[in-house]
Homo-oligomer: A and B are copies of this chain.
Amino acid sequence: MSSRIEVLYRVRSDAKSIAARAKGIAVEQSVEMPVEPIDDPYVLRETLGRVDDIKDMGDGTFEVRIGLASITTGMAAGQTLNMIFGNTSMQDDTVLVDAVFPPEFAEAFGGPRHGLDGLRARVNAPRRALTCSALKPQGSTPAALAKLAGQIAAGGIDYLKDDHGLADQTYSPFAERVPACAEAVAKAAARTGLPTRYLPSLCGNLDSMRRQIALARSCGLDTVLIAPLIAGVDTFQTMVKENPDFAFMTHPTMAGASRIMPSFLLGKFVRLLGSDATVFANYGGRFGYTPEECKRVSGFALQDWSGVKPCVPVPAGGMVLERVQEMLDFFGPDVMLLIGGSLLSTRERITAETARYVDAVRNYRAGQPS
């Protein structure tokens, strides 16, 4: 029999209904029709979903493990998402917790092309945690954003990304903003002697993203931001495959929070598709993720996976300089910290404040009082 993806769902159910409910998910996510009239032995043996395990969690929910035939995904990103969660995303009683992919998925999708080691090498930081900030607010002109980019780069930041809301708007067209910011960062980097990277945010359809990454390359850039849930995961995979020289940071916008566990979606799945660095909402910020789930995102992004490089976890969302010590104690050194808005709030002191942030990360020692 051909290989299966082992998909783990958490289902709210009573004990007497769970067997039928589990079978319902296995059917929904495969043949999507009553099984009884199916007489094709290939379908029954190879493509019909299979309930492999049901575990009573004792809290009114069950963990249901279902084997879905790899072959039904066509080894395409969107169809994989369609098969592991598609219609079941519309069931209020079910959460997608995790999926274990057979080895051919790593081969087909390839994972991060650069990953943790690649992103460290780009900025000559072989061991320490990496630093990142964001260009905001939208509505600013390319000149204003370029000025800000230069000020932050002058503070010695490793990575500086567009806010994911910076797209291709009339007040800041991609084709004007990106060369302006790239130039400002390059000038500042020449002065600091540090290889700060600027990441434009790709937007629109595959055609426009291809034009955008070509423009980014022509500006000397080698790292970009993309939002896979907005772009579509097939668009994301295509960009990764076509641009092996580029590293991709992924943004979690539209990832939701309650139906797919962030650890799977943002830790494992975007990594499989080629995310080199995965932004996720850290605990204690503007979003409701728990420390445990954030640790799982980080764990999934970094864990050993044959043929798939580690992806850098990027906790974000309302982070502040005062939390650097705590965050590094929590996540360890294999992390990129993203502090955006609170840094921008320091206005004319932004270069000095960035330098303070960069120093805090560089000089971090585990377990010191903050």
Q: Which 5 pairs of residues, A with B, have the shortest CB-CB distance?
A: A232-B232, A47-B139, A31-B137, A33-B341, A86-B253
Q: What 11 new A-B contacts, CB under 8 Å, besides A24-B286, A47-B171, A92-B258?
A: A32-B138, A37-B344, A42-B139, A48-B137, A82-B230, A89-B253, A89-B254, A89-B255, A92-B257, A93-B288, A230-B233
List 22 A–B pairs whose Cβ atoms lie within 8 Å, in order of A's numbering. Answer: A24-B286, A31-B165, A32-B137, A33-B344, A34-B345, A37-B344, A37-B346, A40-B144, A43-B138, A43-B139, A71-B169, A72-B139, A79-B167, A82-B230, A86-B254, A89-B257, A90-B256, A205-B206, A207-B238, A232-B235, A256-B259, A259-B259
Segment 58-114 of A: residues with Cβ below 8 Å from B: 69, 71-74, 76, 78-79, 81-83, 85-87, 89-93
Cβ of A31: which chain B residues have Cβ within 8 Å of it? 136-139, 165
Q: For the complex, would chain A's binding face be called helix, strand, loop or mixed by DSSP majority?
A: loop
Cβ of A78: which chain B residues have Cβ within 8 Å of it? 203-204, 227, 230-231
How many Å lie between the Cα of A126 and that of B291 in the bound state? 58
Interface residues of A, Cβ cutoff 8 Å to B: 24, 28, 30-34, 36-40, 42-43, 46-48, 69, 71-74, 76, 78-79, 81-83, 85-87, 89-93, 136-140, 144, 163-165, 167-171, 203-207, 227, 230-235, 237-238, 252-259, 281, 286-289, 317, 340-342, 344-347
How many Å lie between the Cα of A78 and that of B230 in the bound state? 5
Smallest CB-CB separation from A39: which chain B residue? B347
Known: A34-B342, A76-B204. A257 touches B91 (CB 8 A): yes
How many Å lie between the Cα of A169 and that of B83 in the bound state? 12
Cβ of A344: which chain B residues have Cβ within 8 Å of it? 33-34, 37
Known: A89-B256, A139-B42. A165 touches B36 (CB 8 A): no
How many Å lie between the Cα of A5 and that of B33 in the bound state? 40
Cβ of A81: which chain B residues have Cβ within 8 Å of it? 230, 254
Please state the number of chain copies in the assembly. 2
Choose from B90, B167, B252 the contact partner of A255 (Cβ within 8 Å).
Answer: B90
How many Å lie between the Cα of A73 and that of B257 in the bound state? 23
| Cβ distance A88 to chain B, nearest Cβ, rounded Å | 9
How many Å lie between the Cα of A136 and that of B30 in the bound state? 10
Smallest CB-CB separation from A28: which chain B residue? B286
Choose from B47, B79, B164, B259 the contact partner of A137 (Cβ within 8 Å).
Answer: B47
Cβ of A227: which chain B residues have Cβ within 8 Å of it? 78, 82, 86
Known: A74-B203, A207-B206. A90 touches B257 (CB 8 A): yes
Cβ of A238: which chain B residues have Cβ within 8 Å of it? 205, 207
Cβ of A76: which chain B residues have Cβ within 8 Å of it? 167-168, 203-204
Cβ of A258: which chain B residues have Cβ within 8 Å of it? 92, 258-259
Cβ of A341: which chain B residues have Cβ within 8 Å of it? 32-34
Assess whether A136 is in contact with B235, with CB atoms less than 8 Å apart.
no
Assess whether A30 is in contact with B165, with CB atoms less than 8 Å apart.
yes
Known: A235-B232, A286-B28. A36 touches B82 (CB 8 A): no
| Cβ distance A175 to chain B, nearest Cβ, rounded Å | 12
